[in-house]
């Protein structure tokens, strides 16, 4: 067992850390207030190669291993979990194609990401969240024309209003249910495919979250990813792959909050001494640091298992769930240590606390993660 990072991993980590310090952290509060990412930020992220971290070498990407990708997302999470979410959504939307797509689909999709374009994963609907099998968007096949016609609506889609390509899950069975779930690539601008309302969220506000509306959207059969009815398995597999990265962003978020609380506790004086000298503060900081480190180890382990080709659904759920709960607890305690200042928008930790909440909700609630973990252990 080797806990040391390689030279290349350390270099990449340093590069992303510099990028975050220059381009994200100083603007995080402004982006949060304005409810969108800064003009040009995604282009800069693309120039750094951050939008295509999941692209394998044979499709023109860096072919990074999962541990290295986690290191990148952790750094992004330190700067702003909203920006990290928007960037990570590219990986989420890419896995269905990388896992089940044809060679042509893989090449075309990776070319888009290599050009710096954004992708969106459209599974969730107003009536299908935790119950992902309840997707009611329909896909009706026209055998003669070699097309599918999609009708329905998607909800809470990251990059919904700004992506160039969408991975949409729809049902090819009239009766619905998981056996009819099928994945499709729907390019931006396809007639009948429109963006609905943009969400005004509690946190991760620089990330774009929108409704999508599909009204008689006709796409060629060549845009179907995998077989008809294979969509549920593809979606579950995709979520397994992406969940450790939600964990990585959560670890970054928690580490940033811990760093703020430690700095503040050394500067803030009460009763004639820095509050860091009080044992109650020390105890909180020690607990926060232990949780962050434990979460990081779970994330690295799930990533490592994925890279070894091992079965890792349980570990992916553990990493996501524990790291998200850690982000919530550590950001809340950072606000507590900083008191009135922590609660004020003048300091960054109240934003981190708002951002942390979504980590327990998206890409499968933490209740769903616990179900996945228990099912793997018990049955």
Residues with catalytic roles: 363
Interface segment toward ligand COS; rule CB under 6 A; list 161-169, 193-201, 212-220, 234-242? 234-242
Distances (CA, A) of 280 to 121, 330, 337, 340, 343: 44, 15, 10, 18, 19
Question: Based on CB atoms, which residue is closest to ligand COS, 102 or 367?
Answer: 367
Which of the stretches 166-174, 280-288, 292-300, 368-376 binds ligand COS when contact is defined by CB under 6 A?
368-376
In this structure, the strands spanning 224-225 and 181-187 are: antiparallel
Least distance (Å) from ligand COS to the CB of residue 286?
33
Pairing of strands 165-171, 181-187: antiparallel
Q: Is residue 233 involved in binding ligand COS (CB under 6 A)?
A: yes
| Residue number with CB closer to ligand COS (199 or 350) | 199
For residues 358 and 347, what is the distance between their CA atoms, to the nearest angstrom?
A: 20
> How many chain residues touch ligand COS (CB under 6 A)?
19
User: Measured from the CB of residue 372, what is the shortest distance to ligand COS in angstroms?
Assistant: 5
CA distance 139 to 131: 19
Interface residue with ligand COS, options 46, 120, 132, 186 (CB under 6 A): 132
Residue whose C-beta lies closest to ligand COS: 364
Measured distance CA(187)–CA(110) in Å, rounded: 14
User: Is residue 239 involved in binding ligand COS (CB under 6 A)?
Assistant: yes
Q: Which listed residue (75, 240, 315, 355) binds ligand COS by CB under 6 A?
A: 240
Measure the CA–CA gap between 9 and 74, rounded to whole angstroms: 13
Helix (H/G/I), strand (E/B), else coil: 274:
strand
- H/E stretch holding 297 reads helix 279-307
Cα–Cα separations (whole angstroms), residue 171 to 96, 148, 182, 231? 16, 11, 6, 9
Binding mask 18-57 for ligand COS (x = CB under 6 A): ----------------------------------------
Q: Name which of 60 and 133 has its Cβ closer to ligand COS.
A: 133
CB 205 within 8 A of CB 138: no
Minimal CA–CA distance to 66: which of 250, 357, 322, 310?
A: 310
* Count of residues making up the chain: 379
145 versus 374: smaller Cβ distance to ligand COS: 374
Helix (H, G, I), strand (E, B) or coil at 150: strand
- Residue 51 and residue 64: Cα distance in Å, rounded? 12
Mark 328-367 with x for binding to ligand COS (rule: CB under 6 A) and - for no binding: ----------------------------------xxx---
CA distances from 355 to 47, 98, 252, 324, 348 (A): 26, 29, 12, 10, 11
Whether residue 298 contacts residue 315, with contact meaning beta carbons closer than 8 Å, is answered with yes
**Least distance in angstroms from the C-beta of 248 to ligand COS:** 16
In the list 236, 262, 289, 294, the residue contacting ligand COS (rule: CB under 6 A) is 236
> What character string, x for contact with ligand COS (CB under 6 A) and - otherwise, covers 65-104?
----------------------------------------
Cα separation of 270 and 238, whole Å? Answer: 50
376 binds ligand COS (CB under 6 A): no
Instruction: Report the residue from 136, 237, 277, 366 that binds ligand COS according to the rule CB under 6 A.
Output: 237
Beta bridge partners of 218: 149
Give least dist CB 361 to ligand COS, A: 9
Among 59, 166, 232, 312, binds ligand COS (CB under 6 A): 232
How many angstroms separate the CA atoms of 49 and 68, rounded? 13
**Six token digits for residue 119:** 């992708």
Query: Which range, of 80-88, 230-238, 326-334, 351-359, touches ligand COS by CB under 6 A?
Result: 230-238
CB nearer ligand COS, residue 123 or residue 319: 123
Residue that has been written with the tokens 């282009």 in this structure: 43
Q: Residue numbers of the site for ligand COS (CB under 6 A)?
A: 123-124, 130, 132-133, 178, 232-233, 236-237, 239-240, 313, 362-364, 368, 371-372
């Amino acid at each position: 067992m080797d806990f040391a990072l390689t030279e290349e991993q350390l270099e990449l980590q340093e590069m992303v850390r510099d990028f975050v310090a220059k381009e994200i952290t100083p603007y995080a509060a402004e982006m949060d207030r304005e409810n969108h990412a800064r003009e040009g930020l995604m282009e800069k992220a693309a120039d750094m190669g951050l939008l295509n971290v999941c692209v394998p070498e044979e499709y023109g990407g860096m072919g990074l291993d999962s541990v290295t990708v986690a290191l990148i997302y952790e750094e992004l999470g330190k700067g702003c979990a909203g920006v990290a979410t928007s960037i990570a959504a590219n990986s989420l939307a890419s896995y269905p194609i990388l896992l089940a797509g044809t060679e042509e689909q893989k090449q075309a999709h990776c070319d888009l990401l290599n050009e710096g374009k954004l992708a969106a994963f459209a599974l969730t609907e107003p009536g299908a969240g935790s119950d992902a099998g309840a997707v009611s968007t329909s896909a009706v096949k026209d055998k003669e024309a070699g097309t599918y016609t999609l009708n329905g609506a998607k909800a809470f889609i990251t990059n919904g209003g700004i992506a160039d390509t969408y991975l949409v899950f729809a049902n090819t069975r009239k009766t619905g249910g998981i056996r009819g779930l099928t994945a499709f690539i729907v390019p931006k601008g396809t007639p009948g495919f429109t963006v609905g309302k943009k969400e005004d969220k509690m946190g991760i506000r620089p990330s774009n979250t929108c409704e999508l509306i599909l009204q008689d959207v006709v796409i060629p059969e060549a845009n179907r990813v995998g077989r008809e009815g294979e969509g549920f398995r593809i979606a579950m597999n995709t979520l397994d792959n992406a969940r450790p990265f939600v964990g990585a962003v959560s670890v970054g978020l928690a580490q940033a909050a811990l760093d703020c609380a430690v700095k503040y506790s050394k500067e803030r004086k009460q009763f004639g001494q820095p509050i860091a000298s009080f044992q109650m503060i020390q105890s909180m900081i020690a607990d926060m640091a232990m949780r962050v480190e434990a979460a990081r180890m779970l994330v690295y382990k799930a990533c490592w298992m994925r890279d070894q080709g091992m079965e890792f659904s349980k570990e992916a759920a553990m990493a996501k769930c524990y790291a998200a709960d850690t982000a919530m607890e550590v950001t809340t305690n950072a606000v507590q240590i900083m008191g009135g200042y922590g609660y004020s928008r003048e300091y960054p930790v109240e934003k981190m606390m708002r951002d942390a909440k979504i980590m327990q909700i998206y890409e499968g609630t933490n209740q769903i993660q616990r179900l996945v973990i228990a099912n793997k252990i018990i049955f």
